[in-house]
Amino acid sequence: MILDGFAPESIASGARSICAGELLGLPTETVYGLAADADNQAAIAKIFAAKGRPADHPLIVHVPDSASADHFAARVPDFARQLMQAFWPGPLTVILPRQPGVAGSAAGGQDSIGLRCPAHPVAQALLQACQGLGVWGIAAPSANQFGRVSPTTAQHVQGEFGDSLVILDGGPCAIGIESTIIDCTRGQPVLLRPGAITPAQIQSACGQRVLSKEELLAHAAPAPRASGTLESHYAPKAKVRLMDAKTLQTALDLLGADIDGAGQVIATYSRVILQSRSMKVLRRRMPDDAAATAQQLFAVLREFDAQGVKLIWVETPPDEPEWDGVRDRLERAAAG
Ligand code: TXA
Ligand code: MG
């Protein structure tokens, strides 16, 4: 059931369901989450079951402000504090040492915890209402089946979990790809998942260089399991291939006027305008701007799936830092 997330009565009833241990579809500025009380083990078990997600894959816990982070974190290093100050509320998740005995199942048994303070007004209103009822934080992975494309509208969430799930509608997500994840448990910021906030912004906010996962792996213990960091993830049903614009045009030329079977089997998504002699190739323009592309990316992949597309040919995004988040999601979709 989809409720208007901006209506005060929806927030009140959403907060009551969270307190009662129910699941709730929740908008954030990145993607929609499947929310539950972070300290309620039975409710957390429902998230893992609904998503088909392995129970040792930790969930992000959402908090209304940085003061609430201290309930979950055993320790907050100075540089992490600076990042929270600079980017919260917003699309940044910090991994911190976990307070023992708190949110253990949400953390998938890790001794760390992922914390994020979302900026979306509906998420903020819900978090504050829940806090008023004694709930410190809300665990919410992206509201999609394990391994699939994250939802960026309430309708996407309904498509994933059906009508029995209550979903707060907060409109289409403004950012469209998941938060940047920075591991703050290793003495220096480590980028676990690229997002709208870039390593350069992290560095300038805390004055420390951001290590890549590869650099970390080269000289440290393995990073905790992170499903958003599995190679094949964010996959639509269609096969995704990434190629440069010239190769993409050559592929379309080779296809000629004829493609097998009926329907729009092939779709393209590119910044350049492509020529095709086949009427059946769906051609979708990728914006020139990385943020605009991120905002529509998952919705575009879902639209192609809904149209029965079997093969999506995507122009490889530019090799520039602001495109890292989009490129990362597309590379994972192509690995699926
Ligand atoms: O933008 C977002 O982050 C969205 C919205 C709903 O907030 N949430 C999201 O959650 O993307 P999810 O569960 O789909 O991805 C969470 C990622 C996973 O890769 C998970 O493994 C990682 O965060 N993560 C969470 N806690 C962690 C921890 N303690 N250590 C390492 N990674 C962690
Ligand atoms: Mg996810």
Q: In total, how many domains does the chain have? A: 2
Question: Are residue 316 and residue 270 in the same domain, yes or no?
Answer: yes
227 lies in some domain? no
Residue where a domain terminates, one of 218, 250, 279:
218
Kindly give the interhelix angle for 199-206 and 78-87, rounded to the nearest 10 degrees.
Answer: 120
Question: Are residue 26 and residue 163 in the same domain, yes or no?
Answer: yes
- DSSP assignments along 314-335, one per residue: EEPPPSSGGGHHHHHHHHHHHH
Kindly give the interhelix angle for 154-161 and 290-306, rounded to the nearest 10 degrees.
Answer: 40
Nearest ligand 1 atom, CA 57: 21
SS3 95: strand
Nearest ligand 1 atom, CA 32: 6
Give the pLDDT score at 65: 97
| Top mutation candidate among 72, 181, 231 for ligand 1, by most atoms within 8 Å of CB | 181
Cβ burial, residue 8 (10 Å; 0-12/13-18/19+): exposed
| Top mutation candidate among 93, 120, 191 for ligand 1, by most atoms within 8 Å of CB | 93
Nearest ligand, CA of residue 58?
A: 1
Question: Are residue 46 and residue 157 in the same domain, yes or no?
Answer: yes
Question: Are residue 14 and residue 142 in the same domain, yes or no?
Answer: yes
Is 140 within 8 Å of 35 (Cβ atoms)? yes
Query: For the domain that residue 193 is a member of, what is the CATH number?
Result: 3.90.870.10
232 lies in some domain? no
Question: Are residue 97 and residue 139 in the same domain, yes or no?
Answer: yes
Residue owning the nearest CA to atom 12 of ligand 1: 141
Give the pLDDT score at 256: 73
The tokens describing 26, both together, are 């929740």
Residue entry with tokens 């079997």: 310
Per-10-residue mean pLDDT, the chain, length 336: 98 98 98 98 97 92 96 97 98 98 94 98 98 97 94 98 97 98 97 97 97 83 56 82 96 77 80 86 95 98 94 96 96 90
Question: Are residue 260 and residue 187 in the same domain, yes or no?
Answer: no
> Domain containing 244: what range?
239-335
Question: Are residue 204 and residue 247 in the same domain, yes or no?
Answer: no
200 lies in some domain? yes
Distances (CA, A) of 268 to 10, 242, 277: 39, 10, 13
Question: Are residue 286 and residue 207 in the same domain, yes or no?
Answer: no
Ligand 1 interacting residues, C-beta cut-off 6 A? 28, 30-31, 33, 57-60, 93, 95, 107, 110, 112-114, 116, 140-142, 178-179, 181, 192, 224, 226-229
Give the pLDDT score at 330: 97
Rounded to whole angstroms, the Cα distance separating 11 from 211 reads 39
Could you give the maximum distance between any two Cα atoms of the chain, in Å? 63
pTM of the model: 0.94
